Amino acid sequence: MSNLERINDAPTIDALDKLRVELLGRKSAISEGFAALKNAADKAQAAAELNRKKEELSNAIANRKAALESVELEAKTAKEAIDVTLFDFYDRGGSLHPINRAMEEIVEYFTGMNFEVKNGPLIDDEFHNFEALNLPKHHPAREMQDTFYMNDGMVLRTHTSNVQIHTMLAEKPPFRMIAPGAVFRRDYDLTHTPMFHQVEGLAVDEKGAISFANLKHILEDFLNSFFGDFPTRFRPSFFPFTEPSAEVDVGCIFCGGKGCRMCKNTGWLEVLGCGMVDPNVFKAVGYENVGGYAFGMGVERLATLKYRVGDLRSLYEGDLDLLEQFR
Ligand code: DAH
């Protein structure tokens, strides 16, 4: 087999490299030929002949190498090929997270009723989160809210009610506002996560202009628009920032009121708190001769009921199979 044939037959790049050393390396016939030139009779002609041979072999090696490399590359790309048809990522599209979806629906209802959207700080002082809301230090009602306290006397707001105070200190009545946003409590189980969302509502006008009937009407109308045609009921309750206070239930949307596990056999689901603003709250912000109502609802609570999600925590796990059911 000629040297050229051996080159063209080299099966791998490694084998070709060994051949290159053999044919062109320091100990090859060609190198020895160059070394012996000084004794040759016709130096120029011998040198030209050696150079021609060397070039011929070098070219053949380079060509073979290129051929072997392209075969290797093809094999590699074939092996690592990605089947882009395997997942239909682009068919799945996006969807609003159920919490955002419920939030948007709530906000849309109330803005349609002329409530203005207000935002407040997530990290707030105790005056705005507690004291001005008629929750003085050491008041037992503070224990209803497992607060995250910070070192500098600030808290992670435990409810969006703090925005009531910020708004009243900044504006003059009459106004209607809602405050959607995240709130924080030290709590974690089937129905509680340390961060969740609320929508707070507040309407203030001159004394006598706003009645409990106005509050009852707007909340009933909201609940019917959110859940559909279910009965509602107002139960006397207590909140430090409202007097009188009520909790609002909707007839159980799971069993239609007959009693089931979801409504703990009462036939009713508790969905929000409300009341007429306590005079102490108005006093704390320097308001006189005014009246109004306030309400607060948990968005996760409303969303898990409406979309029938058993474990609230599953909404925060980024599980696509779950989330895409809400498209
Ligand atoms: N802040 C209450 C809570 O987090 C919810 C609430 C109840 C807000 C009654 C109100 C209200 O404005 O009137 O549990």
Tokens 């609320």 correspond to 198
pLDDT, averaged across the chain? 92
Work out the percent of the chain whose per-residue pLDDT is above 90. Answer: 72
The whole-number pLDDT of residue 85 equals: 72
| Beta-strand relationship, 175-184 and 242-251 | unpaired
Hey, whose CA ends up nearest to atom 7 of ligand 1? 273
Q: Which atom of ligand 1 is nearest to the CA of 202?
A: 12
Q: List the domain boundaries for the chain.
A: 3-81, 98-326
Chosen CATH of 98-326 out of 3.30.930.10, 3.30.450.20, 1.10.443.10, 3.30.565.10: 3.30.930.10
Atom of ligand 1 nearest to the CA of 198: 4
Q: With 70 as the cut, is the pLDDT of residue 88 above it?
A: no
DSSP H or E stretch at residue 246? strand 242-251
At 185-224, the pLDDT tens digits run 998 888 788 999 999 999 999 999 999 999 999 999 999 9
DSSP structure class, residue 143: G
pLDDT at 319: 82
Pocket flag, ligand 1, residue 298 (CB < 6 Å): no
Residue 292's nearest CA partner among 218, 182, 198 is 218
The pLDDT assigned to 321 comes to 81
Written as one string, the DSSP assignment of 80-117 is H---TTS--HHHH-----HHHHHHHHHHHHHHHTTPEE
Q: Report the separation in Å between the CA atom of 232 and the middle of ligand 1, taken as the mean of its atom positions.
A: 18
Please work out whether the CB of residue 239 comes within 6 Å of at least one atom of ligand 1: yes
pLDDT 10s digits, 131-181: 999 999 888 877 777 899 998 889 999 999 999 999 999 999 999 999 999
Identify the pLDDT of residue 109: 98
Contact 290, 205 (CB under 8 A): yes
Token pair of 69 as six digits: 């490399």
- The three-state secondary structure class of 147 is coil
DSSP string spanning 248-293?
Answer: EEEE-TTTTTS--TTTTTSSEEEEEEEEEEPHHHHHHTT--SEEEE
How does residue 91 score in pLDDT terms, banded at 50, 70 and 90? low
Using CA atoms, how far apart are residues 109 and 163, in angstroms rounded to an integer?
Answer: 19
Q: Does the pLDDT value for residue 95 go beyond 70?
A: yes
Q: Are the C-beta atoms of 288 and 282 separated by less than 8 Å?
A: yes
Q: Are 187 and 148 in contact (CB under 8 A)?
A: no
Average pLDDT over residues 299-321: 87
Determine the Cα–Cα distance for residues 254 and 231; give it in Å rounded to an integer: 13
Contact 201, 221 (CB under 8 A): no
- Pocket lining: 130 vs ligand 1, CB cutoff 6 Å: no
Tokens of 7: 């080159």
Distances (CA, A) of 36 to 42, 57, 181, 189: 12, 20, 90, 90
pLDDT given for residue 90 in this prediction = 63
Evaluate: CB of 292 within 6 angstroms of ligand 1: no
- Locate the ligand 1 atom nearest the alpha carbon of residue 241 and give its number: 13
Supply the pLDDT for residue 93.
73
Which atom of ligand 1 sits closest to the CA of residue 293? Answer: 13
